[in-house]
Amino acid sequence: MVKAPVKKAKTSKKPTQKFAEGVCFKKLFFVFIIGCIFGCIYETLLTFFMNLFRDGSIVWVSRSGLLYGQLNPVYGIGAVGMVYFLTRRNFKWWQIFLLGGLIGGVFEYIMGICQEFFTGTSSWDYSDQWLNIGGKTSPYIMAVWGITCLVLMKVVYPIISNLIEKIPPKVGDVVFWVSLVFILIDVFISYSAVIRMNLRHQNVPTLTPYGQFLDTVYTDERIHRSYTNMERI
């Protein structure tokens, strides 16, 4: 009697898990970091060429929004908002332009108001632009946001998203947690130092050891060296 050949059980191969797949918090955090770096480079180059074309002067100053690292959170948060809201569905190019301009304009306006309220300082003023809104944004600035959003969503983000997902998960997790801790500490120190500077100018004494630390280490000169375009109001 001939025995029928025994069929080998099929082993299901477990699909390889991608790092930060889809639009998740980890991916948005990396988008935030990239946006912060891009924003700082953009602002620095913009200042350089504006001074060069205006009077031929060579001015190279950092436009970082934090005390440590070449990072500008305004652009980072703006990039996150655009990616988060505009990946919900397949928008047409003109919709991306309009929504991107609206998101960027509203966000920049809110950030400007919050900066003035909490720190007593201002880092930008569009009062000389046509139809500006409280000097915090304008149709021209919103159009720039719209164009930036269009380039981001149609060209840059698909490439960035693919590259992020190719990071080995273990490596990506380590980089994510180290970067997250660094950013949180940087943001906390940076903005508390500016708030404390404003309180110093109002002759408000410090009541905590941390406030004394800020007064000693983060003097007005130290803060203005990092925030070259910041002005007290």
Note the pLDDT tens digit of each residue in 127-176: 999 999 999 999 999 999 999 999 999 999 999 999 999 999 999 999 99
The reported pLDDT for the residue numbered 13 is 55
Instruction: Give residue 170's pLDDT.
Output: 94
| Residue with the two structure tokens 């004494």 | 205
Whether the CB-CB separation of 90 and 105 falls below 8 Å is answered with no
Can you tell me the mean pLDDT for 75-97?
92
SS3 91: coil
Q: Which two tokens stand for residue 28?
A: 């948005």
Average pLDDT over residues 23-40: 94
Task: Indicate whether 7 pLDDT > 90.
Answer: no
In a domain, 124, yes or no: yes
Q: Is the confidence at residue 208, as pLDDT, over 80? A: yes
Rounded distance between C-alpha atoms, residue 92 and residue 142, angstroms = 18
35: Cβ contacts below 8 Å, ≥ 6 apart: 75, 76, 77, 78, 79, 80
Which domain does 191 fall in, by range? Answer: 25-232
CB 47: neighbour CB atoms within 10 A? 17
- pLDDT attached to residue 2: 52
3-state secondary structure of 121: strand
Average pLDDT value for residue range 94-120: 91
Asked if pLDDT for residue 51 goes beyond 70, the answer is yes
6 assigned to some structural domain = no
Task: Output Rg (C-alpha) for the chain, integer angstroms.
Answer: 23
Q: Does residue 163 fall inside a structural domain?
A: yes
- Number of domains within the chain: 1
Cα 141 from Cα 45, distance rounded (Å): 17
Do you know the residue count of the chain? 233
Residue 40 has pLDDT above 70, yes or no: yes
Query: Can you give the pLDDT at residue 185?
Result: 97
Q: How far is CA 90 from CA 86, 94, 96, 155, 190, in A?
A: 8, 12, 9, 14, 38
Choose the weakest-confidence range: 80-84, 92-96, 99-103, 113-117. 113-117
17 within domain boundaries? no
Contact 194, 223 (CB under 8 A): yes
Element (H, E) at 83: helix 73-86
pLDDT given for residue 10 in this prediction: 55
Is there a domain that residue 4 lies in? no
Q: Which has the closest alpha carbon to 129: 159, 164, 105?
A: 105
| Residue 162 belongs to a domain | yes
pTM of the predicted protein model:
0.85
Q: Are 142 and 148 in contact (CB under 8 A)?
A: no
Residue 21 corresponds to which tokens in the numbers above?
């797949």
d(CA 77, CA 70): 15
Residues 6+ apart with CB under 8 A from 158: none
- Residue 10, in any domain of the structure: no
pLDDT at 64: 87
Mean per-residue pLDDT over the chain, rounded: 89
Q: Report yes or no on 12 lying in a domain.
A: no
